[in-house]
Amino acid sequence: MRPALCTVAALVAALSASTAHGHEGGQPHPAGAVAPDRLTGMAELGLGWLVLPGAEVCVEPSIAGCSKGDSSLGLEVWQLFRATRSFAAGAGLLLGLTPTTDAPREDPPGVARDHARRYFTFEGTARYYALTLPTVEGWVGLSSGLVVVSDRFESTAGQSDKALVGPRGVTIRTEGYTVGVAVGAAYLFSPSWSLGGALRYGSWFLPEKPTRSPFGDEASLRGQVNLVSFGIDVAYRVPL
C-alpha cells in the first residue's frame, strides 16, 4: 500500500509543478485568461453605430440652412498590445460610410449634383482592465488621434457624346483631432477568442472656418462635434 501511495503522491506533485510552470511561462489558462507576465497581441474587429447628436450639418448655411445631427454605421479595427492583464495600448481606425443626414443645399442652375459624406478616424488608445475574471473582462480607456471628414460633390448628369475634361466632382477633406473615453467588456469563450461590446463618448475638433469648393459649397462639419458610438466586437489574442 505504501509504495502505491508514494507513486500517486509523486504523480500529483509532478502534475502540479507542470501546471505552475505553464502558467509562469505565460501560457493561456484553461478559461482563456493570459498570465500576467507575457506580452499578448490582440486584434479586434467591431461593428456598431456612430451618432453625432448635436452636429450642425451644412454645406450652404447662408442659402439653404443646416440639418441637426447625424448617424452612421461604423466599422472599427483595433490592434492592441497587452503588457499585463491590467494594461493594454494600441491603435485603430473607424470608418463611417453611411451617414443618414443630408445637408440642405441649392445647386447652381443647370448643375444637378449629388453629395456624399464619409468619416474616418485613426487613434491611439490605452486601456485599463479593472475586471479580469477567468472568462469575463471589463475595461475603461482613453483615445486620441486624427479625424477626417470627406465631402464629395459629384455631377448626376448622364453621360453624353461630348468629351468631359477633368473630374465629374470635387472632394473637400477636413482634418481635425479627436479626444474620447470608452468602457467595454468581453466574454472569453476560448483561449484565443472573445466576444464583447464597447460604448464610446468623445469630441472631434475641426476648423471653425470651413474649406470651400469652386461652386461655393462648404465642408459639412466645423468646430467641436460631440459623438457617441456603441457596438459589438470579436477579438483574437495570441501570446507574443
Query: Tens digits of per-residue pLDDT, 157-169?
Result: 655 555 555 566 7
Higher pLDDT, 215 or 84: 84
Question: Is residue 19 over pLDDT 80?
Answer: no
Residue 14 placed within a domain: no
Identify whether 13 is part of a domain. Answer: no
> Is 111 part of any domain?
yes
The per-residue pLDDT for 126 is 97
**Residue 202, domain CATH:** 2.40.160.20
Query: Does a structural domain hold residue 8?
Result: no
Residue 1 forms part of a structural domain: no
Assigned domain for 3 exists = no
Claim: this prediction has a pTM higher than 0.75: yes
pLDDT of residue 102: 80
CB atoms within 10 A of CB 226: 14
Tell me which residue range forms the domain holding 202: 31-239
> Does a structural domain hold residue 222?
yes
Close Cβ partners of 233 (under 8 Å, ≥ 6 residues apart): 44, 45, 46, 47, 76, 78, 186, 195, 196, 197, 198
Total domains, the chain: 1
